[in-house]
Homo-oligomer: A and B are copies of this chain.
Amino acid sequence: MPDDESHKAEMEALKAEQRRKITEARDPGRGLVLVHTGDGKGKSSSAFGVIIRALGWGHSVGVVQFIKGDWPTGEKQFFDKLGGQVTWRTMGEGFTWDTQNLARDTKTAEAALAAAAEMLASGAHDLVVLDEINIALQFGFLTVPAVLAALEGRAQRTSVILTGRNAKPEIMEMADLVTEMREVKHPFQAGIKAQRGIDF
């Protein structure tokens, strides 16, 4: 363990550095674009955590789910009970390996993007989450220009979170924040079942 004096000196230096960064930081004057990607867990759940933050400040939130179908999840049940603070649209029909129909998946994703674009442009929300939209892009159900247009058409106040693995480079390029959730160790890989209240 470091001694008191050296600890204090180290913390003073850290504090000065933090203060400098905070002083220099500016308000962007517009909502941010955030991307949660990578092969690890936490992309969607982290977006739900940010929703909680936003709601705590009385913000208005919209969610469009691009892939997940209408089966029961903890998050859906929780936000349903909350009532009108969150506008939640489950537009997906399930995993693409279940539908196995490219034309149908494309149509579904395009309808979800239309709903998302409307939500983004409306100015009604401080935060809009486009859950698993990166998957729809990865499988070619949506085009990058169509998604970029929806993002650029958002109201000034509206921040957006895009989730899903394999985010497109053009999306990451225009984003303010990109986090890669990297899988270091996963229970499913160790043969442990998905757990209610943890995984869904």
- Which residues in B have their C-beta under 8 angstroms from that of A25? 188, 191-194
A192 is contacted by which of B26, B41, B53 (Cβ under 8 Å)? B26
Q: Say if the beta carbon of A126 comes within 8 Å of chain B.
A: yes
Q: Say if the beta carbon of A27 comes within 8 Å of chain B.
A: yes
| With A184-B180, A187-B32, A193-B26: A127-B198 Cβ-Cβ less than 8 Å | yes
Chain A residues 164 to 200 lying within 8 A of chain B, measured CB to CB, are 172, 175-188, 190-200
- The smallest beta-carbon distance between A22 and chain B, in angstroms, is 8
Chain A residues 43 to 66 lying within 8 A of chain B, measured CB to CB, are 43-57, 59
Query: Judging by beta carbons under 8 Å apart, are B11 and A180 in contact?
Result: no
Q: Say if the beta carbon of A84 comes within 8 Å of chain B.
A: no
Instruction: Tell which of A81, A177, A181, A192 has the most Cβ of chain B within 10 Å.
Output: A177
Query: Judging by beta carbons under 8 Å apart, are B176 and A184 in contact?
Result: no
Q: How large is the interface on A (under 10, 10 to 19, 20 to 34, 35 or more residues)?
A: 35 or more
Chain A residues 120 to 143 lying within 8 A of chain B, measured CB to CB, are 126-127, 140
Interface SS of chain A = mixed
Chain A residues 142 to 161 lying within 8 A of chain B, measured CB to CB, are 159
Instruction: Report how far A21 CA is from B192 CA in the complex, Å.
Output: 10
Task: Write the residues of chain A forming the contact surface with B, with a CB cutoff of 8 angstroms.
Answer: 1-4, 7-8, 11-12, 14-15, 18, 21-22, 24-28, 32, 34, 36, 38, 40-57, 59, 73-79, 81, 95-103, 126-127, 140, 159, 172, 175-188, 190-200
27 interchain pairs, CB-CB under 8 A = A7-B100, A8-B102, A11-B99, A14-B96, A24-B191, A25-B194, A32-B198, A34-B198, A41-B46, A41-B177, A42-B43, A42-B49, A46-B181, A50-B198, A51-B52, A52-B52, A52-B74, A52-B75, A56-B81, A57-B197, A159-B195, A159-B198, A172-B185, A175-B185, A179-B181, A179-B183, A180-B182
